[in-house]
Amino acid sequence: MNRVLKSPFLVALLAGLVILVLAFVPALWQVLRGTASAPVSSADTPWSIAARGDGVAAFGLQLPGSTLADAERRWGEDLQLAVMAETGQAGALEGYVERFEAGGVGGRLLLTTALPEAELQRLQQSAAEREPAGGTLWRYRLRASERKAMGATPLVGLSFIPAANLDAQTLRQRFGEPDEIIAPGGRLEHWLYPARGLAIAVDAEGRELLQVVAPADFERRLRAPLKTAVSAAASPAASAPR
């Protein structure tokens, strides 16, 4: 199987059918729970996502370039870090800020890494504790020594879920017209802005999801898997009653 498809860079989007999108790991449900708020500057708002050189600046971080250590310096103890994995799977090393204000929009931020499976399995085995995280998903909390050791791990993606719904008009005002829309006219549309490495899942009945990767990774990490997932969900086999 393609290395990218085996990576933990996945998110489940619900639109009547479950659509698996290659972005932001199996534990995205974590960011739907929020407690304390971490303030951000105007440069960190979702509206400020912008191409910078051969990368993209988003939420005060740079892709490629920023690491878990950069995120920890920015958010300190508000940044939670754990390996999230389905039973028997390597999973993903994730960081997330449960809630912070961004340009007047409260939201949750998830940081994604891409470690080798062997390293993820090692982190599971050395974890300080293992906790159930719903269904067959487990949370492996890192020991303090491992957390520090993982500081140089590069970030490969960010996702942001606003606490409030953002309608299409607001999104167009903030981000402009998308270069492409996948599944136009459906409950769940995917607006693509490849130059900024940005994909927005626009849900007519739920909250939106902003996904950011390095522009050079946009096709393989976001666009191609999105198109494949949407096509699979629309196939007769997927829609047939069981």
Q: Is the pLDDT of residue 57 over 80?
A: yes
Q: Note the pLDDT of residue 6.
A: 34
- Whether 135 is covered by a domain: the verdict is no
Residue 239 has pLDDT above 60, yes or no: no
Question: Is pLDDT above 50 for 203?
Answer: yes
Contact criterion met (CB below 8 Å) for 11 and 28: yes
Q: Each residue of 116-145: pLDDT tens digit?
A: 999 999 999 999 999 999 999 999 999 999
In a domain, 223, yes or no: yes
Q: Is residue 141 part of a domain?
A: no
DSSP-derived letter for residue 37 is -
Lowest-pLDDT range of 75-79, 219-223, 231-235, 237-241: 237-241
Residue 193 in any domain: the answer is yes
Return left, alpha or beta for 6; rule: phi > 0 is left, psi -120 to 50 is alpha, else beta.
Answer: alpha
Other C-beta atoms closer than 10 Å to the C-beta of 238 total: 12
pLDDT higher than threshold 60 for residue 40? no
Give the pLDDT score at 164: 85
**225 CB-near residues (< 8 Å, 6+ apart):** 4, 5, 20, 21, 22, 23
> Over the chain, what is the mean pLDDT?
82
* Inside any domain, residue 208: yes
Q: pTM to 2 decimals?
A: 0.79
Domain of 167 in residue numbering reads as 3-77+99-115+153-239
Q: Which residue has the tokens 């957390």?
A: 147
User: Is residue 134 included in any domain, yes or no?
Assistant: no
Comparing 11 with 16, the larger pLDDT belongs to 11
- The per-residue pLDDT for range 153-175, each reduced to its tens digit, is 999 999 999 988 888 999 999 99
pLDDT number for residue 202: 95
Token look-up 């971080």 returns 61
What letter represents residue 25's amino acid? V
Instruction: Determine, yes or no, domain membership for 91.
Output: no
What percent of the chain shows pLDDT beyond 90?
A: 63
Tokens found for residue 50: 């912008």
Q: What is the CA radius of gyration of the chain?
A: 17
The three-state secondary structure class of 195 is helix
d(CA 142, CA 12): 24
For 91-114, the pLDDT digits (tens) are: 999 998 987 776 677 899 999 999
The CB density around residue 148, as the number of other CB atoms within 10 Å, is 12
Tell me how many domains the chain contains: 1
Residue 16, pLDDT score: 29
Does residue 167 belong to any structural domain of this protein? Answer: yes
Phi, then psi, of 89 in degrees rounded to 5: -110, 155
Give dist(CA 24, CA 8) in Å, integer. Answer: 7
Question: β-strands 92-102, 38-39: how paired?
Answer: parallel
